[in-house]
Amino acid sequence: MQVYLPIAEVSVNVFVLLGLGGLVGVLSGMFGVGGGFLMTPLLFFIGVPPAVAVATGANQIVASSVSGLMAHLKRRTVDLRMGTVLLIGGLIGAALGVVLFNYLKSLGQVDLLINLCYVVFLGIIGALMFIESLNALRKSRRGTPPKRKKHNWVHALPFKMRFRTSGLYISVIPPLLVGLAVGVLAAIMGVGGGFIMVPAMIYLLNMPTKVVIGTSLFQIIFVTGFTTMMHATTNYTVDVVLAVVLLVGGVLGAQAGTAIGMRLKAEQLRILLAGLVLLVCGKLALDLLLTPSELYVLSAAGSH
Partner 1 sequence: MRLLLLILLAFALPAKAEQVVLGLSKEIVQISTDFDGSDILIFGAIKRETPIEAEPLQVIVSVAGPQQPVTVWRQARRFGIWVNAHAVEVDAAPSFYAIATSAPWAQVISETEDLRHKVSIPRAIRSVGAPMDVPDAQSFTEAVIRIRTGEGTYQLLENTVTVREQTLFDTAISMPANLTEGSYPTRIFLTRGGRVINTYETEIEVRKVGLERWLYVLSRQQPFVYGLMSLFIAIAAGWGASTAFRILRSQ
Contact residues for partner 1 (CB under 8 A)?
1-4, 6-7, 9-11, 47, 59-60, 62-71, 74, 108-109, 111-112, 116, 225, 228-229, 231-233, 236, 238, 240-241, 243-244, 247-248, 251-252, 254-255, 287-292, 294-304
Q: Which is nearer to partner 1, 90 or 175 (CB)?
A: 90
* Exposed / middle / buried, residue 201 (Cβ in 10 Å: 0-12, 13-18, 19+): buried
Count how many Cα atoms sit within 13 Å of the Cα of residue 27 in the half-sphere of its side chain.
23
Report DSSP state, residue 83. Answer: H
Closer by beta carbon to partner 1, 163 or else 222: 222
CB 50 within 8 A of CB 299: no
Residue closer to partner 1, measured from CB, 157 or 288:
288
First to last CA, the chain: 35
* Three-state helix/strand/coil letters over 170-218: EECHHHHHHHHHHHHHHHHHCCCCHHHHHHHHHHHCCCCHHHHHHHHHH
What are the CB-based long-range contacts (under 8 Å, 24+) for 100-108?
A: 100/184, 100/187, 100/188, 101/187, 101/188, 104/188, 105/303, 105/304, 108/304
Q: In angstroms, what is the minimal distance from the CB of 294 to partner 1?
A: 7
In whole angstroms, give the CA distance from residue 304 to residue 296: 14
Of residues 22 and 179, the one with the C-beta less far from partner 1: 22
In the complex, least distance from residue 112 CB atom to partner 1, rounded to whole angstroms: 5
CB nearer to partner 1: give 8 or 172.
8
Rg, the chain, Cα only: 19
Residue whose CB is less far from partner 1, 158 or 292: 292
Closest CB 213 distance from partner 1, rounded Å: 15
CB of 113 to partner 1, least distance (A): 10
> Of all helices (H) and strands (E), which one includes residue 153?
none
Nearer to partner 1, 156 or 290 (CB): 290
Supply the minimum distance, in Å, between the C-beta of residue 82 and partner 1.
21
Smallest gap from residue 244 Cβ to partner 1 (A): 6
C-beta closer to partner 1: residue 81 or 231: 231
Q: How many residues does the chain have?
A: 304
CB of 3 to partner 1, least distance (A): 6
Distance (Å) of CA 239 to CA 87, 99, 231, 235: 26, 23, 10, 11
Q: State in angstroms the smallest separation of the CB of 105 from partner 1.
A: 12
User: Dihedral, CA atoms, 100, 213, 267, 252, nearest 10 degrees?
Assistant: -100
Residue 194 has a CB neighbour count (10 Å cut-off) of 31
